[in-house]
């Protein structure tokens, strides 16, 4: 669906990382964790294209933002990386946005038995929080959050409020263990039973998580971040390689339409993306 939205709040959580809450029509609460939105950051033609953002949270509204006929809200996390996101960071309470979504294929929570393990960092934590909200109703959930430094570790308190046990690692040791979060994850998996992994974050982190999943033979779903122009499978600007036909004959999938969530076994992971943040 396409809808107009009003900004309710727009707050910088950590240097460069922002959390925005906006109005949305009630069907938004039926979004699946892992689905995303294409947002037009202003009413003009620069930037022309919408930008993709993962859904962090949705819910029923308690304030009286009745403009746009909205009784619900949605939230996103975003990082200021260019002109479009800088424009988003300049918006205030009451400013308008044009939103398309929810789009794409989300996470599949699966059998509630067994431990659910979330792995992510930076704005990758947004869809994982939305997923955690759903998973905690029937499963034990752990979060492994990683990044270059403490600034990349967002909203841990919100996860813990849900009852999620969290483990943190940063490359520079400014928060949690020093090193890659996948190393902490791997130590945990040595004793975990019936675990399922759900990951969202930078590509090197996803690749390392998929490799850990393969070594420990645990199911793993990954949510990919990609450059997206249309968000609906029309422009082919977001393709990744799949391996339905084996490692030497990749097929191509759209992150926006076939994903952004994939089983890690579906994808052909490029070699040479070694260390990660």
User: Could you list the residues that contact ligand FES (CB under 6 A)?
Assistant: 228-231, 233-238, 254, 256
| Other CB atoms within 10 Å distance of the CB of residue 211 | 15
> For residues 168 and 118, what is the distance between their CA atoms, to the nearest angstrom?
12
H or E stretch at 18? strand 17-24
The residue to which tokens 């490799």 are assigned: 211
Among 246, 243, 277, smallest CA distance to 262 is for 243
Cβ-based nearer residue to ligand FES, 118 or 224: 224
Cβ-based nearer residue to ligand FES, 103 or 189: 103
Min dist CB 239 to ligand FES, Å, is: 7
Min dist CB 232 to ligand FES, Å, is: 6
Min dist CB 36 to ligand FES, Å, is: 11
> For residues 127 and 76, what is the distance between their CA atoms, to the nearest angstrom?
9
Based on its alpha-carbon atoms, the radius of gyration of the chain, rounded to whole angstroms, reads 18
Min dist CB 240 to ligand FES, Å, is: 10
Report yes or no: 172 and 277 within 8 Å, Cβ to Cβ: no
Cβ-based nearer residue to ligand FES, 21 or 253: 253
Cβ-based nearer residue to ligand FES, 80 or 235: 235
Among 269, 265, 264, smallest CA distance to 240 is for 269
Min dist CB 178 to ligand FES, Å, is: 37
> For residues 101 and 53, what is the distance between their CA atoms, to the nearest angstrom?
10
Cβ-based nearer residue to ligand FES, 188 or 257: 257
């Amino acid at each position: 669906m396409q809808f107009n939205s009003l900004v309710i709040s727009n707050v910088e959580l950590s240097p460069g990382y922002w959390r925005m809450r906006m109005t949305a029509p009630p069907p938004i609460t039926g979004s699946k964790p892992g689905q995303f939105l294409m947002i037009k950051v202003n009413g003009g033609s620069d930037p022309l294209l919408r930008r993709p953002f993962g859904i962090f949270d949705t819910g029923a509204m308690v304030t009286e933002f009745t403009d746009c006929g909205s009784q619900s809200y949605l939230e996103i996390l975003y990082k200021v990386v260019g002109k479009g996101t800088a424009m988003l960071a300049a918006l205030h309470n009451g400013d308008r946005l044009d939103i398309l979504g929810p789009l794409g294929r989300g996470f599949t929570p699966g059998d509630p038995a067994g431990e659910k393990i979330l792995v992510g960092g930076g704005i990758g934590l947004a869809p994982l929080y939305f997923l955690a909200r759903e998973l905690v109703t029937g499963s034990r959930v752990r979060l492994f959050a990683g990044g270059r430094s403490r600034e990349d570790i967002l909203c841990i308190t919100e996860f813990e409020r849900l009852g999620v046990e969290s483990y943190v690692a940063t490359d520079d040791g400014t928060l949690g263990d020093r090193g890659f979060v996948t190393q902490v994850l791997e130590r945990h998996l040595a004793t975990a039973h019936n675990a399922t992994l759900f990951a969202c974050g930078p590509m090197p982190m996803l690749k390392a998580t998929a490799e850990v999943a393969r070594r420990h033979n645990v199911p793993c779903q990954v949510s990919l971040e990609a450059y997206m122009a249309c968000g609906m499978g029309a422009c082919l600007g977001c393709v990744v390689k799949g391996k339905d036909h084996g490692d030497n004959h990749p097929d191509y999938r759209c992150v926006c339409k076939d994903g952004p969530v994939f089983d890690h076994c579906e994808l052909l992971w490029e070699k040479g993306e070694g260390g990660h943040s």
